[in-house]
A and B are shown apart, each in its own frame.
Chain A
Amino acid sequence: MKLLNHSVKYLSIALLFLVTLWSIIFYFSMLSEIKNSLDEELENRKRLIIQNLWNDSQLPIKDTFDENLYTLQQISAESALTFKDEYSDVEIYMQDADDSAPELEPVRMLTTVFKANDKYYQLKIVNPIIEQNDLIEALFWNVAALYIVLILSIIYINNFTLKKIWKPFYSLVSELKSYQIDKLRPLTLEKTKIKEFEDLQQAVKLMNEHNLKAYTQQKTFIENASHELQTPLAIASNKLELLFENSSLDESQAQKITETYQILQRLINFNKSLLLLSKIENNQFSKIENININEIVSQNLIELDDFIQYKTLTAEVNEENTLSVMMDKTHAFILISNLINNAIFHNINNGSLKIFIDKHILKICNSGESQALDKHQIFNRFYKGKTSSKSTGLGLSIVKAIMEHYGAKIDYYYKDNHHCFELIFD
């Protein structure tokens, strides 16, 4: 859920309570205001009516509210003397201008008594008031409208401020999203005056600097360690070679030395591949030029022809187009030769090797084990299939590292009994 939606959610709940509470209070205070002012008016009318009545010698007794909106009745002295002015809410039958027949209308009524010509009279004056239902309904719609307007303006203002105020934050997020540590480039941060964001940027920057440092150290460590291993490996391997030339070895000694030697050769191959991999990752080849992949493929096939024939493979190259890529020549060569090598060595006798080249695509397919490889594992370092325990498990990682270096894509799939590696250069 977005920050905007969160704040709108909480604000709308809080506002719903506040607005409801406020409208209840408002309704009652409004109602009492209205009654107060009606009562004052009734009081005024009372005085006017009584004044007028005094002038009349004969008081007109009337017991229905007509257009004058009052009734007058004579009452006994006892009840009149104990009577006090009384305001009340009642309903009477009245005919408004827009009503066809009289209907019950709420009114405010003042009941009072007065004395004229030694007689006591009771006067009832009414004043129509607005129906409470109408009031509540009007109030409800107004409040609802207010609520909606409030929420809409909160969304709008929030949106606006979020976009404006949080801009440095979002730019930092998008910078972090696109950040790749292996490109070894410092973070680009947008300048901001907001203290919190400045702190955040500083913290992220600091963390990134640490990461970069650790990353570079680790990378150069692998490369340096591999370099340092070269000489000791050379010494050990050469010493065993010299030892083999010693004719006095008996069979079991020779067997053990042979095994040691073979393991040492694996170690040497492994170290070479590791060195190559870290060199690619450390960007140590950088003569970018226009490379014709078709040429490199056919060059590799010529070099590997003996092996293709040894396994009696049928090699087929389908060139739809010329594939030219801007890359380092050594990279291109390692890339293609690793893939074609794999396609030959993991092939079966009398199998097939199919290569397809188009403008942006190179596809290398080979027959082999009748089961798809684990797509998510094969490019990982040190991953080995079931077949060859002697391989370093770095060949495809090297391929992947080169492809990643140029931002190109590599995909593996198994189709029609063929293992296919598809390289896509855009």
Chain B
Amino acid sequence: MIEDEQQLLNNIKESLEKENFLIETAIDFDQALEKVMLYDYDCILLDIMLPKGNGIDILKALKESGKTDNVIIISAKNSLDDKLLGLELGADDYLTKPFHLAELTARVKAIIRRKNLKGSNSIKFQNLTLNIDERSLMVNNNPIHLNRKEFDLLYYFMVNKNRLITKSALAEFVWGDHSDNSDNFDYVYYQIKNLRKKLNKAKASISIEAVYGVGYKLTEL
């Protein structure tokens, strides 16, 4: 995790450690360059604006030494040029500040999953198997039909299991950039209600609980 803002670093570290990741941090360019060159990481979170240098240069150095995989750029600039340049230089993803921690977790896991891909790209939890490539759900090996948004929501819950996901994080995830509308929460609630019904009917041993009225959490039954 390469980030000069200490507070943000703490947040991300705390959140990812809950997912049992081991986090190493660097708070400036030199420190960051030294670490990424010395060790191999499963995933590198890279801030573009750094003291003593630019994150893009770290990306270039990584590319030169053939270690380009698994970089997620985290930037306060939602600039298309930066994004394209970053992706061109081998970064896997680009996340704009401010972001939801659930979103970051989902992105990190997606990258690691892709890296460790053996056979099918799927997530298993309890008696559920979510196949990412086929966008299908199996409960006790029975296929369950989900619509697009239901699948997206379940995916989001599965990569953030036992973690609270706020309604605005959910809305932004299914609604993309257009989360500037009050109806979204109703829509999210409506989709979750349907999803719950389908999961209950299929006897999935998970439940989606409302937490404090601010969000939801996927737990095992």
Contacts and interface: CB of A to CB of B under 8 A. Distances in A.
A397 interface: no
19 contacts: A227-B77, A230-B98, A231-B8, A231-B76, A235-B5, A238-B101, A241-B166, A242-B15, A244-B212, A251-B212, A254-B214, A257-B212, A262-B168, A265-B168, A337-B177, A345-B182, A345-B183, A391-B180, A392-B180
Contact of A244 (B5, B8, B76, B166): B166
Interface string B177-208: 11111110001001000000000000000000
B80 A244 contact: no
A341 interface: yes
Contacts of A306: 147-149, 187
Contacts, number: 107
A83 interface: no
A251 B211 CA distance: 11
A244 B101 contact: no
Given A241-B101, A254-B212, A265-B168, A275 B80 contact: no
Interface string A218-229: 000000000110
Contacts of B163: 245
A249 interface: yes
B97 A231 contact: yes
A235 B8 contact: yes
B73 interface: no
A391 B182 contact: yes
Contacts of B190: 310
A208 interface: no
A188 interface: no
B66 interface: no
A275 B78 contact: yes
A235 B7 contact: yes
B14 to A, nearest CB: 6
- The size bracket of the interface on B is 35 or more
A249 B212 CA distance: 9
A112 interface: no
Contacts of A234: 8, 76, 97-99
B100 interface: yes
Interface of A: 227-228, 230-231, 233-235, 237-239, 241-242, 244-245, 249, 251, 254-255, 257-258, 261-262, 265, 268-269, 272-273, 275, 284-285, 303, 306-307, 310, 330, 337, 341, 345, 388, 390-392, 395
Nearest to A238: B11
Interface in B136-164: 147-149, 163-164
A242 B11 contact: yes
A391 B180 CA distance: 6
A426 B129 CA distance: 53
Given A261-B214, A306-B148, A310-B190, A231 B101 contact: no
Given A233-B97, A258-B212, A285-B80, 12 more contacts: A231-B76, A231-B97, A234-B99, A235-B5, A235-B8, A239-B7, A261-B214, A265-B168, A330-B80, A388-B181, A390-B181, A392-B180
B178 A337 contact: yes
A4 B182 CA distance: 61
A395 B214 CA distance: 25
A255 B163 CA distance: 19
B164 A241 contact: yes
Contacts of B78: 272, 275
B178 A269 contact: no
Interface centre among A237, A241, A273, A388 (most CB of B within 10 A): A241
